[in-house]
A = this chain, B = another copy of it.
Amino acid sequence: MVKVFKVGVNGYGTIGKRVADAIVKNPRFQLLGIVKYTPDYSSRIAFKKGINIYVPAEKWSDFESQGIKPKGTIQEFLEESSIIVDASPNGKGAANLPMYKAAGKPAIFQGGEKPEVAELSFSAYCNYDDAVGRKYLRVVSCNTTGILRILCVLHREFTVKRAKVLVIRRGADPKEDARGPINSIKLESIGDVSHHGKDAMLVLPDVKIISQAVVVPTTLMHVQYLDIDLGQPVTKSQVIEALSRYARILLVDPGKTGLDSTSKLTEAARDLLRGRNDIYENIVFENTVIVSENNVSLLQAIHQESIVVPENVDALYAVANIKIPFEKVVEETDRLLGIGGLKDVF
């Protein structure tokens, strides 16, 4: 019989609410509940959905006065969880770590935390086997996840020597009505490189990865430009074929499908009635794949809100030390999230 792990999700923002929903879909895990600090609209929606809400003891009455009956306190949350997914705001995860350690509970952190928060920075296509049995994992950020899926697939197939990445970052998430830019293309950093490449190299240390980023006025998805030097000459069809074998990478032909922008991709996700119009897959624009000897470049769209959800679920398998091989883990995660089905549509 499959052991059911109780997973507590600390933080119910962009990532936390999606991971909570993903856990509900997966019979190996039970969603113990979520931690909320304010009785806002998302607490109310979670409560209406029947999700258990744990709150700081001193906030109990704030929730009750809003008609939201908490299930328990944070102390009870820590005691009852078998594994915690920390999806709290950037940097808050590190502050929570001592609490998880004191309770003796394993935890999965997000890419907004510094790498030191965990034993290993994690991206399933790259280092699942190394993650199995670990107590603390950090799922790398949305852009780094998007980069690493491609690089690790190509590294496995052809060996990647070096990659340069330009991230064209969305300015804000759809709900963030106070962020910009409205009419500008902005450097993400005044340094020479962005953090994505360094972060990716934590997971794939034998490849030199250099990244830069600009921020643009859109909320839907990032677009990334990857320029990759392989250890051997390849053909375009070899690259396409290799990428096609992985369900979390979806090659889309804009000429055939009309899907030539992040807004049209989002509309397709809406029409497919995907929850929250989430797109878990890297969307590689097939026409943009250019191959010349051992050099490959491509453009891909990355849905910043949802791309890390499958990797968070994989991380639960690893921390729970579930004894099935990597291929079976991602197949199961993907099937339960509906990943892969789009290959037939596009």
Contact = CB atoms under 8 A, between A and B. Distances in A.
Contact of A220 (B183, B218, B264, B287): B183
Interface stretch (A7-15, A22-30, A124-132, A255-263): A255-263
A73 interface: no
Interface in A249-296: 254-255, 260-264, 285, 287-290
A191 B301 contact: no
Nearest to A170: B185
A164 B290 CA distance: 10
A214 B290 contact: no
Contact of A217 (B218, B225, B285, B299): B218
B168 A255 contact: no
Contacts of A255: 190-191
Nearest to A180: B263
Given A166-B225, A190-B254, A227-B227, A218 B288 contact: no
A225 B211 CA distance: 12
A299 B214 contact: yes
Contacts of A168: 168, 185, 214, 216
Contacts of A227: 164, 227
A44 interface: no
A103 B181 CA distance: 50
Given A217-B218, A218-B216, A192 B290 contact: yes
A244 interface: no
A40 to B, nearest CB: 25
Interface of A: 164, 166, 168, 170, 181, 183-187, 189-193, 210, 212, 214, 216-223, 225, 227, 254-255, 260-264, 285, 287-290, 297, 299, 301
Going nearest first, the 5 A-B pairs with the smallest beta carbon separation are A184-B263, A186-B261, A190-B255, A216-B216, A190-B254
6 contacts: A168-B168, A181-B261, A181-B263, A185-B262, A187-B254, A187-B261
